[in-house]
Amino acid sequence: MSDNNTLETNKALVRRNFEVIWSQCNLDAADEIIASEYVGHIATLPDAVRGVEAFKQVIMLFHLSAPDIRFEIQDQVAEGNKVATRWIARGTHKGEFMGIAPSGQRLSVTGMSFHRIENGRVHESWDDWDALSMLQHMTEDVFQSLSMRI
């Protein structure tokens, strides 16, 4: 396989991660895409996510809070065994998320992810997003009432 084919294959794997696992909550696909020794560095979590089963739990956390969450890839760049992706996630806050009660608010959150691919699977990822914007969407009524008092 040429270098360009490898880069395109790696990008397609990461796209499948967002489209099938994150957007469709297809946890069976995680066994095909995510390595068993996976390590995820997720901005809003205090500790690294270790292993495919822990990864599935994170997916469920997001889908329980926003069942209609969908990820749209904006840009993707690959070099060597790494893929960088800029994305937008959209969904409705219908379930509790990290102690925040459901608000019914539509969410639109931008983020970036960096994946390391080995042997056709994601072995490590770094994920960061605009968490402040996400919290503002979830608690919009609180922010509006605070701004009225100021």
User: What is the residue extent of each domain of the chain?
Assistant: 3-149
Token pair of 115 as six digits: 């994946």
Token pair recorded at residue 119:
């042997």
Q: What is the β-pairing status of strands 121-129 and 34-42?
A: parallel
Higher pLDDT among residues 117 and 136, named by residue: 117
HSE, CB side, 13 Å, CA atoms: give it for residue 118: 9
What is residue 133's predicted lDDT score, i.e. its pLDDT?
A: 72
Model confidence, pTM: 0.85
The answer to whether residues 95 and 66 touch, using CB atoms and an 8 Å cutoff, is: yes
pLDDT for the residue numbered 2: 46
- Distance set, CA 54 to CA 30, 50, 117, 132, 135 (Å): 11, 6, 18, 24, 23
Among 9-13, 27-31, 47-51, 92-96, name the one with the lowest average pLDDT.
92-96
As a whole number, mean pLDDT of residues 19-31 equals 97
Q: Which CATH architecture has domain 3-149?
A: Roll (3.10)
- Cβ–Cβ < 8 Å for 67, 91: yes
Q: Which tens digit of pLDDT belongs to each residue from 52-62? A: 999 999 999 99
Give alpha helix (H) positions in 17-112. Answer: 27-33, 52-65
